[in-house]
A and B are shown apart, each in its own frame.
Chain A
């Protein structure tokens, strides 16, 4: 008999025990380990997915920020360029204004310098011209000149207008001292008489005269009575000329266009008048 029933029973029991033991020591631990590993891998994959999603999110965020930064950069750059342009224009304007101001100042200084030089030259020229004129006239002054002066003086007395004449007559009449007649050279008797006669005729009165010589004068005759003076001399011409030149220079200062000084040589000679007033 090939079948031993005790052995069959024993083998069934052995097999069942073996199934339990194998389940206990092999399948459970192995499957548990595999499950744990799978869970772990799944968890790691989930973490990886999560991290990837986070990374993607951060990447998107970074990209967004980068775009914003670029946009801001472009805007700031554009703004800065505009500001620089405006600032450049402003600085250029300021520099131009400063240059203009400096240029104007320099021109003004130059103009003042030129004016000073002009004035100095004018003054010097004036002084020189008058000095030369005085010297020439003094050199030329002779007795005949005095005689001629006397003639002119007497003619002027005759030619005086009525108002002057009246006021002068009053002065002469009111004078207590003799009327003083001053001349550069000592007048000869004939001329003294001529003057006396002319005065007498002009004012229709006998006017006492006292003659005096004043060599410091250029040339001429003047008459002084009671603080009033009637004169004709070359010095007066010169003074008149000087005044005229000064007025001319004063007038020229106002327009002031030329930097280079120009010496005005032409002077308008004012016709001398018999003047009355305090000496």
Chain B
């Protein structure tokens, strides 16, 4: 049993390697992109539209609405980043029902990569919104003493993001693997269903937390709205 799909290596040449994480990520990418392309190939702007278009519209507008509810007044600006996070993680969890599939999110490298992306995205959007100086000054508020704590907070929450998703996905796969050896008939199915639910919840938590971090970064200068998220 592999703890992480990173350990399944298909091809390696020196530093370069092609493991299951990357391969399944490409597979998911192809699935998402081709699916999107197929559905959006013939979009209707009338009242009559296809079921798939309807589904995608519900998904996109749902994500947009969630982003807006978090506090981001221009959801379209963050839709691509946050929406892709949610859709990738959700699809990765959903595909666990396919036999032989290893979710890329079960790899700490993947979750860490996503967390690093969030770590970079937060100051990126914050600086874009309020400028470099204003954003950086938020780290020394209310006093200069808070600077190390703010930096630690940034790093710790990024790690928390990565480890939370990795732990949940990996544990789900591990539990199913263990249960298959103990009670191989019925119980793993329930655990798989539970794993689907956990995967969806984790996708939601990951993207919502990313949205909250970004929202905190761009709203920090507004009086009365400053808040530190230390989840």
Contacts and interface: CB of A to CB of B under 8 A. Distances in A.
A36 interface: yes
B113 A34 contact: no
A201 to B, nearest CB: 157
A7 B22 contact: yes
Given A7-B22, A11-B104, A29 B17 contact: no
B81 A19 contact: yes
Contacts of A3: 108-109, 112
Q: Which of A4, A12, A16 has the most CB of B within 10 A?
A: A4
A69 interface: no
Interface string B29-68: 1001100110010011111000001001100110000000
A2 B108 contact: yes
A40 B108 CA distance: 47
Contacts of A37: 45-47
A105 B198 CA distance: 125
Contacts of B81: 19
Interface string A24-37: 01110111111011
Contact of A26 (B15, B40, B166): B40
Contact of A18 (B4, B32, B79): B32
Contacts of A4: 6, 17, 19, 21, 107, 109
B229 interface: no
Interface in B75-134: 76, 79-81, 83-84, 87-88, 104, 107-110, 112-114, 116-117
A230 B231 CA distance: 179
A162 to B, nearest CB: 148
Contacts of B46: 37, 40
A246 B132 CA distance: 153
B150 interface: no
Nearest to A40: B45
A15 B56 contact: no
Interface residues of A, number: 33
Nearest to A39: B45
B110 A11 contact: yes
B60 A26 contact: yes
A25 to B, nearest CB: 4
Contacts of A27: 60, 76, 79-80, 83
A8 B116 contact: yes
Interface band, chain B: 35 or more
Contacts, number: 122
B3 interface: yes
Interface in B145-202: 166
B1 interface: no
B40 A29 contact: yes
Nearest to A18: B29
Nearest to A30: B60
Contacts of A34: 57, 60-61
A22 B32 contact: yes
B213 to A, nearest CB: 16
Nearest to B81: A19
A26 B19 contact: no
Interface in A174-194: none
A52 interface: no
A10 B25 CA distance: 10
A17 interface: yes
A11 B5 CA distance: 13
A33 B21 contact: no
B84 A15 contact: yes
Given A6-B16, A17-B29, A12 B113 contact: yes
A11 to B, nearest CB: 4
Contacts of A2: 3-4, 6, 108-109, 166
B144 interface: no
B193 to A, nearest CB: 27
A29 B22 CA distance: 28
Interface string A185-223: 000000000000000000000000000000000000000
Given A10-B25, A11-B110, A34-B61, 12 more contacts: A4-B17, A4-B107, A7-B17, A7-B21, A12-B116, A15-B84, A22-B32, A27-B80, A27-B83, A30-B56, A33-B57, A40-B46
11 contacts: A3-B112, A7-B22, A11-B21, A11-B113, A16-B117, A19-B81, A21-B32, A22-B33, A23-B84, A26-B60, A40-B46
Q: Which 5 A-B pairs have the closest CB atoms?
A: A11-B113, A7-B109, A26-B36, A29-B40, A23-B80
